[in-house]
């Protein structure tokens, strides 16, 4: 994605010609889609952040459509803060930050070095910052200006609510710092900043030696990094920030020297043995992925050097580009950088840093804590490799084994996902062999029980292939595909994604209508879960779910699913289209029969549905009066469950007002 499609700071975009508005909207949509499909080997919070961005795709599609319909003309007279140009450019700036953070998170996840405390701490601050930045930008988008539909507004509000819950965990001081750094990084008015992708702060004019707050400097470095700012004077920027935050930016030279820090004329500090952990490491000695001192540096085809374990994991995850330059790797050869390794070892010796040493197999060990590969992990890795075999029998057998393993324990579900099985299993959902399909979809169902895997499965693009199995697989595969959708839809964001996928709800309704007994139950569970989200209710109604549910009520003696049917109807009746469809489907007589003969829970739900149908509807009220609902309702108001009593009493009161009693 080329960042030059938009300016770095929102207000710069006011100078763009209106004809570029559509291009900008399309570029934003492309960026959001790229983020939504980023790697699956991330930490849970990173995956959830990518999922939140995926929920913004519908918003960006509507903004693109708005740009198309308006011919790129926008309200140029708007203030800078509310200008559509400004909104989109700020959103672009935020999404670029999210993308950068996810790349950094992926690099960290790719590492095998357990000594990643500093990287983890930096990523935690960056996560807080990009979350805050995204919430800040989304809160300023004008739904009315872009003519955003109610359903999409609901999606964006869901994302905003989730982001705000994350922001509540951030301390007030950090929020203040975030705002100051954001202002400094994006300012077009402060003379100290040059407005291009890479910039350098002007030197700070001070006759007093500057003492830089190390923790604050690290924060500046990390946040500038996710905002795409490179080659700047960190100390200078930190001093400016310290002044803004009213922190002491200069200290008594005697106190500094007494603490063990000696400032040279250049302002760069040296340290004594007591300050060893504040030792500055040459940038060339740090791996660009882990940002840690390299122990086994290797050169890739672009000429860049990385720590072997990190770049190998990067390649193993299917990446074919150089992480630092984004150039395509002409080959995957990793050439040891003996000269740099020697320099690092000399530097370690000179500074009394523990030197790296080799394992018997020739690999470099950084901390002596490489985990042993267990037989179980090795067995799972072998099975995953067989999933890509050219032999259909081997694929089928491996998928069946993984299905069984994933069913047994949470630990197996973790190991299978870590071995990279999920994307391969998703691809097997599209093969012609029905048994392989069945094993693959059931494996994904079992893997989805582990919460983190739900996110990985969604990011692997599993929804459409699962729907394919739901439509065309054998009955057991269709049942398990439906159960997988139910499991995945337990996460709110997934309700929106799955419900909005063409054919998903229709396939579930088809299984509900014509499936096996177990298939009907699985489809009912999935439909109920999806219809909790308001936007899916109309989709389900249009797919014919009410007709299928009423048919099941009529066959209640054989279907044994009265509870499930009433639960779904009670959710649908709260939607205008659902209420109309339920009324037209001749449901009222069936509900009244349940008032007389149903189980206590059935009576409760039937009463609740009748109340929703009859509120502000004198025609339906008169109908239930004619059908003799008064007697069973009176009985329920006295002997039913607490909820049933309230609903029955309210319904009787409505009937009394219309003198139906």
Confidence of residue 530 (pLDDT cuts 50, 70, 90): very high
Task: Say which residue, 17 or 568, is predicted with more confidence.
Answer: 568
Quick: pLDDT tens for 582-635: 999 989 999 999 999 888 889 999 999 999 998 888 888 888 888 888 999 999
* Cβ-count burial 207-231 (b if 16+ within 10 Å, e if not): eeebbbbeebbbbbbbbbbbbbbee
CA 200 to chain centroid, in Å, comes to 34
pLDDT of 533 strictly over 60: yes
Question: Residue 48 has what pLDDT?
Answer: 80
What is the percent of the chain with per-residue pLDDT over 70, rounded to a whole number? 76
Q: Give the mean model confidence (pLDDT) for residues 65-80.
A: 56
| Top-ranked range on mean pLDDT: pick from 168-182, 308-322, 428-442, 616-630 | 428-442
Quick: pLDDT tens for 279-317: 667 778 888 877 778 888 888 888 889 888 888 877 776
CA end-to-end span of the chain: 68
Question: Residue 250 has what pLDDT?
Answer: 38
Quick: pLDDT tens for 635-653: 999 998 898 899 999 999 8
Question: Residue 521 has what pLDDT?
Answer: 92
pLDDT of 73 strictly over 60: no
Task: Say which residue, 330 or 400, is predicted with more confidence.
Answer: 400
Which of these, 14, 15, 36, 30, lies nearest to 64 by C-alpha position? 30
Q: Is residue 537 within 8 Å of 578, Cβ to Cβ?
A: yes
Task: Say which residue, 379 or 150, is predicted with more confidence.
Answer: 379
Per-residue tokens: 280: 């500055």
Q: Give the mean model confidence (pLDDT) for residues 472-493.
A: 93
Task: Say which residue, 554 or 431, is predicted with more confidence.
Answer: 431
Question: Residue 592 has what pLDDT?
Answer: 92
Question: Over the chain, what is the mean pLDDT?
Answer: 77
Q: Reduced to 3 DSSP states, what percent helix, strand and coil does the chain have, rounded to the nearest 5?
A: 65, 5, 30
Quick: pLDDT tens for 136-145: 889 888 888 8
Specify burial of residue 186 (Cβ count, 10 A radius: 0-12, 13-18, 19+).
Answer: buried
Which of these, 185, 217, 225, lies nearest to 201 by C-alpha position? 185
Question: Residue 83 has what pLDDT?
Answer: 66
Quick: pLDDT tens for 577-586: 999 999 999 8
What is the percent of the chain with per-residue pLDDT over 90, rounded to a whole number? 28
| Top-ranked range on mean pLDDT: pick from 4-18, 121-135, 398-412, 416-430 | 416-430
Q: How far apart are CA 659 and CA 106, in angstroms?
A: 68
Question: Residue 5 has what pLDDT?
Answer: 38
Task: Say which residue, 226 or 210, is predicted with more confidence.
Answer: 226
pLDDT of 658 strictly over 80: no
pLDDT of 556 strictly over 80: no
Question: Residue 660 has what pLDDT?
Answer: 55
Confidence of residue 42 (pLDDT cuts 50, 70, 90): low
Quick: pLDDT tens for 211-252: 556 777 778 777 877 777 654 556 666 777 777 666 543 333
Per-residue tokens: 394: 């081997």
Q: Give the mean model confidence (pLDDT) for residues 435-439.
A: 96
């Amino acid at each position: 994605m080329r960042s030059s499609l938009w300016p770095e700071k929102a207000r710069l975009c006011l100078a763009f010609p209106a004809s570029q508005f559509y291009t900008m909207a399309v570029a934003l949509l492309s960026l959001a889609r790229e983020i939504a499909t980023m790697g699956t080997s991330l930490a849970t919070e990173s995956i959830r952040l990518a999922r939140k961005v995926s929920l913004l795709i519908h918003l960006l599609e509507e903004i693109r459509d708005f740009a198309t319909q308006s011919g790129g003309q926008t309200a140029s007279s708007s203030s800078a803060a509310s200008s559509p140009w400004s909104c989109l450019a700020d959103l672009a700036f935020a999404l670029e930050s999210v993308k950068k953070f996810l790349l950094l998170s992926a690099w960290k996840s790719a590492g095998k070095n357990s000594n990643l405390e500093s990287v983890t701490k930096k990523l935690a601050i960056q996560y807080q910052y990009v979350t805050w930045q995204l919430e800040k930008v989304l809160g300023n988008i004008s739904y009315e200006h872009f003519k955003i539909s109610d359903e999409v507004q609901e999606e964006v509000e869901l994302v905003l609510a989730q982001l705000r819950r994350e922001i509540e965990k951030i301390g007030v001081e950090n929020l203040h710092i975030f705002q100051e750094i954001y202002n400094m990084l994006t300012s077009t008015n402060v003379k100290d900043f040059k407005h291009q992708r890479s910039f350098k702060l002007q030197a700070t004019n001070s006759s007093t030696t500057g003492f830089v707050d190390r923790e604050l400097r690290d924060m500046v470095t990390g946040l500038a990094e996710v905002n795409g700012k490179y080659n700047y004077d960190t100390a200078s920027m930190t001093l400016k920030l310290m002044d803004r935050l009213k922190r002491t930016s200069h200290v008594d030279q005697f106190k500094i020297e007494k603490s063990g820090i000696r400032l040279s004329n250049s302002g760069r500090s040296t340290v004594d043995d007591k300050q060893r952990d504040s030792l500055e490491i040459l940038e060339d000695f740090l791996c660009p992925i882990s940002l840690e001192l390299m122990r086994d540096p290797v050169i890739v085809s672009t000429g860049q050097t990385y720590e072997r374990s990190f770049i190998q994991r990067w390649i193993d995850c299917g990446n074919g580009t150089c992480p630092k330059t984004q150039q395509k790797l002409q080959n995957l050869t990793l050439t040891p950088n003996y000269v740099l390794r020697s320099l690092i070892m000399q530097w370690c010796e000179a500074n009394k840093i523990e030197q790296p040493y080799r394992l018997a197999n020739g690999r470099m060990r950084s901390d002596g804590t490489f985990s042993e590969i267990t037989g179980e992990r090795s067995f799972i890795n072998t099975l995953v490799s067989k999933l890509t075999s050219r032999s259909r029998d081997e694929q089928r057998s491996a998928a069946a084994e993984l299905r069984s393993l994933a069913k047994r324990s949470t630990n197996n579900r973790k190991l299978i996902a870590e071995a990279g099985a999920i994307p391969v299993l998703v691809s097997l959902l599209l093969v012609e062999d029905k048994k392989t399909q069945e094993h693959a979809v059931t494996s994904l169902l079992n893997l989805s029980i582990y919460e983190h895997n739900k996110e990985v499965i969604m990011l692997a693009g599993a929804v459409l292939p699962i729907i394919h199995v739901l439509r065309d697989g054998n009955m057991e595969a269709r049942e398990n595909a439906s159960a997988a959708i139910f499991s995945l839809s337990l996460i709110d964001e997934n309700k929106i994604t799955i419900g909005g996928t063409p054919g998903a709800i229709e396939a579930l309704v088809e299984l509900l209508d014509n499936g096996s007994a177990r298939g009907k139950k699985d489809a009912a569970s999935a439909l109920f879960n999806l219809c909790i989200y308001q936007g899916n209710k109309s989709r389900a109604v249009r797919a014919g779910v009410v007709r299928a549910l009423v048919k099941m009520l009529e066959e209640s003696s054989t279907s044994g699913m009265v509870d499930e049917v009433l639960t779904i109807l009670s959710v649908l009746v709260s939607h205008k289209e659902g209420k109309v469809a339920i009324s037209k489907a001749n449901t009222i007589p069936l509900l009244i029969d349940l008032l007389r003969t149903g189980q206590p829970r059935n009576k409760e739900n039937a009463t609740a549905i009748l109340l929703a149908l009859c509120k502000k509807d004198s025609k339906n009220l008169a109908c239930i009066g004619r059908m003799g609902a008064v007697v069973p309702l009176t009985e329920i108001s006295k002997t039913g469950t607490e909820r049933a009593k309230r609903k029955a009493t309210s319904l009787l009161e409505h009937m009394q007002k219309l003198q139906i009693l």
